[in-house]
Amino acid sequence: MDHAPTPFMAAHRFGFGLAGTKAPGTTGRDALHDQLAHPEWALITEPLPDGVASIRDFVRINNAFNAFRNEVARRETEGIVTPAGTPAPVSPGSPYVLLVLPELRARTARAMSGEADFLERLVVFWSNHFAVSMTKGGTLMPQIGPYERSVIRPGITGKFVDLLLAATRHPAMLLFLDNNVSVGPNSPVGLRRRRGLNENLAREILELHTLGVDGGYTQADVTAFAAALTGWTVTGYNPPPDAATPPPDPGQFIFRAQEHEPGPQTVLGRVYAEPGEDQARAILRDLARHPATARFIAGKMARHFIADVPPPGLVARMAATYLATDGDLGALARSMIDAPEAWAPPLAKLRSPYEFLIAAQRTVGVPVFRPRAYGMLANLGQQILAPASPAGFPDTSDDWMGADAIKTRADFALEFATGFNGDPAALARGVLGPALTDETLTAIRRAETGRQGLVLLLMSPEFQRR
Amino acid sequence: MPRLTLSRQSLPNQSLPHQSLPNQSLSRQALSRRSLLGAGVTLFGGAFLPSVAAAAGGQDPRFLTIILRGALDGLSAVPPIGDPDYVAMRGALALSTEGPQAVLPAGGFFAINPRLARLHALLTAGDALVVQAVATPYRERSHFDGQNLLESGLTQTGGNEGWLNRVLTATAGRPIAQGQLTQGQMTQGEAPRGLSVAPTAPLIIRGPAPVLTWAPQFTVSADADTVQRLLGLYDARDPALATALRHGARMDAEANAQPARNAGGIGAPARFAELAAFAADRMARPDGPRIAALSVDGWDTHAAQGPTTGRLGQLFGFLDEGIGALQAGLGPVWRQTSVLLVTEFGRTVRINGTAGTDHGTGTIAILLGGAVQGGRVIADWPGLAEASLFAGRDLAPTTDLRAVIKGVLADQFGLSRQMLAQTIFPGSAAVSPMAGLIKTG
């Protein structure tokens, strides 16, 4: 395989594979540049409730669902038998089914469509960088989908500072990292109610979103930044709006001056004397243009797309681009795909479970992401929008290379292949193009059944790695 | 009641353990243990350990490490209720010594959280111990770096191989069952001695020595013929995938088909008992793994911590249920087993503004199992007074976690000091293995 960009490499390394790619281009690079020139292709246009509506719906749906469950339990305990001819109580639907699943379907539909795979991969990358998680439960759950749609998708080719500000201000992030309950100890509310700081958000912004853990900040910086962030909170919270009557318009960003720690704060040696909300905003602006942030972001993006240990020269050039363009993420992505190193073999990075399941279903020709596959994601350790920690999902081959995980991929490949009776060798040529090896082609040809051949294709090294 | 002084002592070994005795009803047992420790003072001073300890656990030992991810609040698990500053420092998170949520006694100075009743029973029976004010060498406050150091066993972050994997290498060739494997042979055809109960191996047990991974699942299983064909392809093209699939397929074939409980991902606390039961069942088998790792997520209690009836109390309940599952499942090999529970660091001594605690330093480690010389809380107690806190906010660490682990590995597996200081925990020569953690004879 030569080093020149090809439509195959563009689809395989920077998308979800050649199968199902709508416009692979003629050089590969052209297709990727085309997508970066049309960031609106990353948007989800179908109508879904925004965060505020989602919270209100959640309260209503959750109450109805709990009432239903209690009624079922009561009938069971009391031994009530529904008389013949009368309908049994019907579930009104859980919050997960009614609010979360539509979000997941909309997300997977973008990936399954193959219309703008590179943009979709960038969405997944940035969503994981600014990770929030449904695992925290409660009223945070219905905010996660709206967060990705309204913050991440419009931000993937804009300025990093805008994405950082939007992500930090969004109720999903504020709730996920506890900033809604962080109060300046010397603020009016802090003094009256004896409440204080929670440094969770400040620390994770420094460690995970901007400078990186080696970015040169101290505990004092974390504390000062946390103080500056006090007052950045969410309407209708404390107590959370799961009461029978929710407060009006719960789940919106609000700056509460009476919770904000008064006075200047010093972060990374600079004194921030801005009043109120602008204090943390100024800190975030400076963090976004910090050289440590440029290095951290460039290295993380190159590691995600190119190799577990990306070429240092490539990372340095990407970081330089970041600084020269004031953190223009479109320019950053362009500097990556314009680099020759980005197209160099080998195909070494193991596809993440999400990438594998999308690519496998597109190869099999499934039109929509199967409901069953959401469970497969959980089983493979990558339940979408539900990472176990604020660091998001891990991003190296070793992280996904467990014995059980690989065997489970084979089991799932078998499920996808059920019912297939086409020619797996022809399919392999179409999907793997120039990467298809003689060994894999021979193994597929010798398969006992078309189904088995398809499993061998989906599990072949060149399909599993990109 | 007899209790050793808890002040710092000026003895050569900085991590000299002090003990507090479980409670008065145990005084006879406790006294004999105390005299044993008294006689063993020179051991604490750094006596060389024989390369093969004549320990109860020395016979075909089992060792399981459980990582409690997110930074467990040691002061909620094993509260120092006798510390004069405890109540003032902890405020609303201070545990009560009376009422329905009263702590369980562990010698007077320390106590056990009421949600950890099984742990308390093991402690009382002499099959568990707690080390308080312990920490890895990590002194920053990132979960991810903290876990990296905890698992790599190094003193700098960035390691990509776990210390438990190095233990597997160091003990390679040991018989899995007496006389079953010959010295030094470890081929792909034989069962690895390491087990990770997770879909992918966590760093702690990742490395060159082969490790099985297993996680409960619910799906159709790729048939043996398809797996064989894939293995043929992988052997020719991709050795890493070959190794992974080979072990995954074997594990899968052995696992009882269990209906999976819909209780979250593999690290979800509610699933811990299920995973613990699986690990115990495997480790109890004559041909099963001898060294295993598993994780429980969720200990990052920044807000509304609730140490007994709230969120943390629920987590302790899940943990305790898992401890019960381990004891039951290990059954006949319980007396050969030690189980180590560790976390990346502790949490702030003071409660934060949101009824929780932020990232701290000193915390606890728990050691349990029939091989453990238990019945005590080991602590070189630094105190909770303002001036004693690390960085003015955290429980000061006085025992290096590596001393505890090295002590277990020395006595249970007979690993030499040199091996422990150079290979298992490189650069740890100054950290002496803590003696007397494993039962003798």
Identity of the amino acid at B14: Q
Cβ pair A381:B241 closer than 8 A: no
CB–CB contact A413 B222 (8 Å): yes
Contact at CB, B353 and A182, closer than 8 angstroms: yes
* Helix, strand, coil shares, percent, chain A, to 5: 60, 5, 35
Exposure on the CB side of residue B233, measured as CA atoms within 13 A: 31
Given a cut of 60, whether residue A113 has pLDDT beyond it is: yes
| A465 contacts on B by Cβ (under 8 Å) | 238
- Rounded alpha-carbon distances, angstroms, from residue B208 to B197, B226, B246, B279, B317: 18, 27, 15, 21, 36
pLDDT for res B23: 36
Residue A45, helix vs strand vs coil: coil
Interatomic CA distance for residues A35 and A24, integer angstroms: 11
Measured CA to CA in angstroms, residue B174 lies from A200, A259, B56, B210 at distances of 46, 62, 17, 14
Helix A7-14 to helix A29-36 angle (10° resolution) is 50
Neighbours of A84 (CB within 10 A): 5
Chain B residues close to A443, C-beta within 8 Å:
229-230, 232-233
Give the model's pLDDT for residue B30.
31
Indicate whether A365 pLDDT > 70: yes
Q: Which residue of B has its CA nearest to A404?
A: B248
Separation of alpha carbons B148 and B134, rounded Å:
17
Distance between CA atoms of residues A205 and B397, nearest Å: 27
**Mean of the pLDDT values across residues A82-94?**
73
Among the partner-chain residues B200, B219, B244, the one whose CB lies closest to the CB of A399 is B200
For residues A200 and A222, give the distance between their C-alpha atoms in angstroms, rounded to a whole number: 9
Which of A183, A198, A408 is opposite residue B199, by nearest beta carbon? A408
Single-letter amino acid, residue B120: H
- 3-state SS assignment for residue B268: coil
d(CA A455, CA A440) in angstroms, rounded, equals 11
**What pLDDT, in 10s, does the model give residues A386-425?**
998 899 999 999 889 888 889 889 989 988 887 677 889 9
**Low pLDDT (below 70) residues in chain B:** 1-58, 174-191, 199-200, 215-221, 253-268, 441
Contact yes or no for B212 and A403 at CB 8 A: yes
pLDDT tens-digit map of A316-360 = 999 999 999 999 999 999 999 999 999 999 999 999 999 999 999
> Which element (helix H / strand E) includes A267?
strand A265-267
Contact A185 B353 (CB under 8 A): yes
Residue type, B115: R
CA distances from A453 to A81, A131, A362, A422, B340 (A): 52, 38, 16, 10, 46
Q: Which residues contact B84 (CB under 8 A, 6 or more apart)?
A: B385
B404 within 8 A of B136, measured Cβ to Cβ: no
Query: Chain A: nearest CA to B327, how far in angstroms?
Result: 25
Question: Which token pair is B74?
Answer: 């040691």
Widest Cα–Cα separation across chain B:
69
Dist. CA B51–CA A118, nearest whole Å:
58
Q: So what's the pLDDT on residue A148?
A: 97
Instruction: Report how far residue B252's alpha carbon sits from residue B226's, in angstroms, rounded to the nearest whole number.
Output: 14
Which chain B residues have a beta carbon less than 8 Å from that of A374?
Answer: none
Select from A221, A219, A203, A209 the least CA-distant residue to A293. A209
Q: What is the pLDDT of residue B154?
A: 95
Cis peptide before A246 (omega within 30 of 0): no
Task: Show the DSSP H helices in A289-340 as ranges.
Answer: 291-305, 312-324, 329-337
How many CA atoms does the CB half-sphere of A292 hold within 13 Å? 16
pLDDT range class, residue A99, cuts 50, 70, 90: confident
- Which pLDDT tens digit goes with each residue over A264-274? 999 999 999 99
Three-state secondary structure call for residue B110:
strand
Report CB contact under 8 Å: A198, B358: yes
Written as one string, the DSSP assignment of A152-204 is: IGGGTTSBHHHHHHHHHHSHHHHHHTTGGG---TTSHHHHHHT-----HHHHH
Count CB-CB contacts under 10 A for residue A67: 12
AA identity, residue A264: P
Radius of gyration of chain A (CA): 24
Beta-carbon separation of B199 and A199 below 8 A: no
Specify the pLDDT at position B215: 66
User: Using CB atoms within 10 A of its CB, is residue B18 exposed (0-12), middle (13-18) or buried (19+)?
Assistant: buried
Residue among A380, A408, A452 minimizing CB distance to B226: A452
Which chain A residue has the Cα nearest residue B295?
A388
CB environment B211-241: b (16+ within 10 A), e (fewer):
bbbbbbbeeebbeeebbebbbbbbebbbebb
- Report the length, in residues, of chain A: 466
Chain B positions in Cβ-Cβ contact with residue A381 (cut-off 8 Å): 199-200, 265-266
The dihedral region occupied by B43, where left means phi > 0, alpha psi between -120 and 50, and beta the remainder, is alpha
Q: Which residues of A are less than 8 Å from B236 in CB distance?
A: 439
Q: Which two tokens stand for residue A280?
A: 């943390």
Residue from A200, A406, A457 whose CB has the most chain B CBs within 10 Å, to mutate: A406
Is the ipTM of this structure higher than 0.85? no
**How large is the average pLDDT for residues A425-447?**
93
Residue of B nearest to A348 (CA): B238
CA-to-CA distance for B139 and B156, rounded, in angstroms?
A: 11
Contacts of B391 in chain A (CB under 8 A): 219
Cβ-Cβ contacts under 8 Å, A440 against chain B: 233, 237
CB B296 within 8 A of CB B318: yes
Candidates B227, B233, B272, B301: best to mutate against A (most CBs of A within 10 A) is B233
Of residues A140 and B181, more confidence is placed in: A140
DSSP three-state, residue A282: helix
Tell me what pLDDT residue A57 has.
79
Please choose, from the candidates B135, B119, B139, the residue with its C-alpha nearest in 3D space to the C-alpha of residue B379: B135
Angle formed by the axes of helices A7-14 and A117-129, nearest 10°: 30
Q: Do B229 and A415 touch (CB under 8 A)?
A: no
**A72 falls in which pLDDT band (50, 70, 90)?**
confident
Output the pLDDT for position A289: 96
**A366 or B225: which carries more pLDDT confidence?**
A366
Q: Which residues of A touch B234 (CB under 8 A)?
A: 461
The answer to whether the CB atoms of A199 and B140 lie below 8 A apart is no
Condensed to tens digits (0 to 9), the pLDDT of residues B382-420 reads 999 999 999 999 999 999 999 999 999 999 999 999 999
The owner of tokens 């093991």 is B122
